[in-house]
């Protein structure tokens, strides 16, 4: 059975373009994958707290050396990593906030990028452990960040997400970016995103 983990990060719920487009993708994609189980990690309804000193100490401590305090501090992160590793497909819906990702998603990433769980250091080099899996981002942007546009060099969202998920081992990463949703480009962008969704739903 294919296990899909859907991670949502827009606080706008039913008004959110990234959530709406992602739901449309999942509805279409599920038609071609009837044997799929879908888990939702909603980072707005169930936010992940910011890191603290104890958590960071736990992150860099071997589990056999955990004190009860460190063990307690890392528990949520362990659960999130377990849930993450149990999936083999991932869809992450992401609004563009201040040229990058929302804080709730950044917090989640801080919890799942973990030595010994999602990456290791081998012969002095980092090696991602999350391999052989597919990842799709569906993003919504108020302005136009398409290649060649004035804002394109300020897109710190797609390059960041690609870098951090490649770091933990992903090689199959795709983006559907709906640009200019607060400009005259909106209808065209939504139509293009939906056309890509239609095509990708049969192939992904
Ligand atoms: C706090 C905040 C910051 C934003 N920053 C940007 C930005 O840097 N660039 C941009 O193009 N749009 C920005 N926007 C607009 C959103 O990207 C746009 O409304 C998008 O549709 C949000 O995704 P959603 O519809 O899934 O909630 C921002 C919106 C908010 C609320």
Ligand 1 centroid to residue 130 C-alpha, Å: 29
Determine the pLDDT at residue 34: 85
40 forms beta bridges with 6
- CA dist., res. 95 & res. 198, Å (int): 21
**Residue whose CA lies nearest to ligand 1 atom number 3:** 97
**For ligand 1, what atom is nearest to the CA of residue 143?**
11
139 close to ligand 1 (CB < 6 Angstrom): no
137 close to ligand 1 (CB < 6 Angstrom): no
**Residue whose CA lies nearest to ligand 1 atom number 29:** 97
- CA dist., res. 118 & res. 165, Å (int): 10
For 142-164, what is each residue's pLDDT tens digit?
Answer: 999 999 999 999 999 999 999 99
Domains of the chain: 2-203 (3.40.50.360)
Sort strands 125-128 and 119-122 into parallel, antiparallel or unpaired.
Answer: antiparallel
pLDDT band for position 118 (50/70/90)? very high
Determine the pLDDT at residue 3: 97
Indicate the average pLDDT of the chain. 97
**For ligand 1, what atom is nearest to the CA of residue 144?**
11
Determine the pLDDT at residue 46: 96
CB 130 within 8 A of CB 85: yes
Q: What is the rounded average pLDDT of the residues 68-90?
A: 97
**For ligand 1, what atom is nearest to the CA of residue 18?**
26
CB 118 within 8 A of CB 129: yes
- CA dist., res. 204 & res. 89, Å (int): 9
**Residue whose CA lies nearest to ligand 1 atom number 19:** 142
Ligand 1 centroid to residue 141 C-alpha, Å: 5
Q: What is the rounded average pLDDT of the residues 1-16?
A: 96
Residue 51 carries which DSSP code? Answer: P
């Amino acid at each position: 059975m294919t296990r899909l983990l859907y991670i949502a990060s827009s606080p706008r719920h039913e008004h959110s373009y990234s959530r709406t487009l992602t739901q449309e993708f999942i509805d279409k994609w599920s038609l071609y994958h009837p044997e799929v189980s879908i888990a939702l990690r909603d980072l707005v309804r169930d936010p992940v707290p910011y890191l603290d000193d104890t958590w960071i100490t736990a992150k860099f401590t071997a589990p056999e050396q955990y004190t009860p305090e460190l063990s307690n501090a890392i528990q949520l992160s362990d659960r999130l990593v377990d849930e993450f590793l149990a999936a083999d497909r991932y869809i992450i819906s992401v609004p563009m906030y201040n040229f990058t990702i929302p804080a709730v998603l950044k917090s989640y990433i801080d919890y799942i990028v973990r030595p010994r769980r999602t990456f290791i250091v081998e012969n002095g080099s980092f090696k991602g452990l999350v391999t052989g899996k597919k990842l799709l981002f569906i993003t919504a942007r108020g302005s136009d960040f398409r290649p060649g546009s004035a804002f394109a060099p300020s897109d710190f969202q797609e390059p960041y997400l690609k870098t951090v998920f490649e770091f933990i081992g992903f090689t199959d990463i795709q983006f559907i970016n709906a640009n200019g949703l607060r400009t005259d480009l909106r209808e065209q962008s939504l139509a293009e995103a939906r056309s890509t969704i239609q095509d990708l739903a049969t192939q992904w």
